Structure 1
Amino acid sequence: MVINMTNTWIYKQLFTNWKKFEVIYVSILILIQLLVFFVVPDSLIGMISGVTGTLSLVYGMKGRKIAFIFGTIQCLAMTYIAWISHAYGSFAMDIFYVISQPIGWFMWGHEQATRRFSSANRKKIFVGAFIAWLIGWWILALLHGQLPYFDSINFVISFIAQLLYILKYQENWSLWIVVNIANILYWSILSIQVITGATAIGSLGTYLSQVALQAALLFNSIYATKVWASGEADNEGGTK
């Protein structure tokens, strides 16, 4: 008996309904992660986090549940990286991310269409996110975390963005853009500190892999804003 793989769930999730542009840019993003590991091969877990994180967000951009499988692997890796880097805001959020993956899997199985807030509610969410960021900054500063003003974005803005992502609200990508930009700066500063000898916490390979990952995710978040607004991510990216 021959099984037609093209009709299986895993095949449809992984390989169907891709644009040529998407295939090219996903390949480039993954190659960047591998290149960073090749140049500074001191953090295998950083590379794993980068590759699975890229795949998770790319498939999330496509609106596909398989994103949460890759997301679970990436979040577990990031939890470890955040802990050894003393990035306590990121550590707390990564624990939440791990827990949120099966929840997202369940929610996306029942809600096939993306949603959008009204203009008034959108403003309330963004103002609330800003206030929450200030509070998070204050708390993380008390805990003596590294770069608390950036880490707070991971601590609170990411939390809000992840909730909106699970609930399939299009506005999640706007918040992720803020998070990705902040994370590029955050991990870049830590990389520079390691290079200059200003800190002995963490490793250069780990930090550079995160810079590459966040740059990839920033591009993906910008593109995902367009994809979700167009309805292309509905019905698990056209796989149903």
Structure 2
Amino acid sequence: MLASLWAALLAPAFSAFGSPISWLELVAFVLAVWMVICNMRVNLLAWPLALLSSLMYFALFWDGKLYGEAGLQIVFAVLAVWGWWQWRFGRTRDGEALKVRRLGMQGLLKPALLTLAAWPLLGLFLDRATDSPLPYWDAFPTVVSLLGQWLLARKYVENWPTWIVVNLASVVLFGLKGYWLTVILYAGFIPMSVMGWRAWRRA
């Protein structure tokens, strides 16, 4: 039964640019767009949507041998639970409920440097330990996404420019793999991230 369900999810829903778009990718696409809209509005529903879309994208990317991105989706699923907890019960160092705020360049410097250092290390691991066809392209949005997820969960405005970088790299990565609906999704995330950045800066 599981095998037939898996086959149905991977069955083409339609084709785009000569590549089949599976039902799995289509549903994950819809959930991910809904999630970003909720993030822009600082709506708690964003986190269960993130959990569901991450699990679906894990299955899609694993099937496509993008192991860095697939592993990232499992981390995203765990972080979605943590992010929901942070938005619901999290506190600042002063004991206040989390609100939209800035981290600042000084506060961002150390996590950004750690992220850049992790990129070639993960790329080397994927190159040596897996059959990933694009290990370093796979690794870059993976590590930067972790930074973006942490910033988002703690309601730092800087999460939005971080996601812009992730989305630009992801457009190239998924285009190389022929995931055209996901390319459209991440290309659409770029202006949505700009809008979210503006909305959170006003907040």
Q: How many residues align?
A: 181
Runs of 5+ consecutive residues of structure 2 not aligned to the other structure: 1-12, 90-96
In 2, the alpha carbon distance for the partners of 1:153 and 1:55 equals: 25
Equivalent position of 1:178 in the other structure: 165
Gaps spanning 5+ residues in structure 1: where? 1-36, 192-206, 232-240
Residue in 2 aligned with 1:211? 183
Give the structure 2 partner of residue 99 of structure 1.
78
Deviation of the 1:144 alpha carbon: 3.1
Instruction: Give the letter for the 1:95 counterpart.
Output: I
CA drift of 1:126 comes to: 2.4
Larger relative strand fraction: 2
- Aligned partner of 1:52 in structure 2 is 31
Q: Is the 8 A contact 1:50 1:212 kept in 2?
A: no
Name the CA distance, whole Å, in 2 between partners of 1:184 and 1:42.
16
Instruction: Please identify the structure whose Cα radius of gyration is greater.
Output: 1
In 2, Cα distance between the equivalents of 1:219 and 1:164? 19
Residues 42, 134 of structure 1: alpha-carbon distance in 2 compared, 3 angstrom cutoff: closer
The residue number in structure 2 matching 1:126 is 112
| Contact 1:129 1:156 survives alignment (8 Å) | yes
CA drift of 1:105 comes to 1.2
Q: Tell me, in whole angstroms, the C-alpha distance in 1 between the residues paired with 2:112 and 2:79.
A: 22
Partner residue, 1:222: 194
State the 1:84 CA deviation: 0.2
Give the letter aligned to residue 222 of structure 1.
V
Structure 1 CA distance for aligned equivalents of residues 181 and 104 of structure 2: 37
C-alpha contact (below 8 Å) 1:93/1:154 kept by paired residues: no
8 Å CA contact 2:144, 2:166 repeated in 1: yes
CA distance in 1, matches of 2:144, 2:104: 20
Q: Which has the higher contact order (CA 8 A, sep 6+)?
A: 1
Cα distance in 1 for residues equivalent to 2:138 and 2:194: 21
Partner in structure 2 of residue 116 of structure 1: 102
**Counterpart AA for 1:113:** K
Query: Which residue is equivalent to 2:61?
Result: 82
SS in 1 for 2:122: helix
What's the offset of the Cα at 1:217? 1.4
Match of 1:137 in 2: 123
Deviation, structure 1 residue 39: 4.2
Give the TM-score normalised by the residue count of structure 2: 0.82
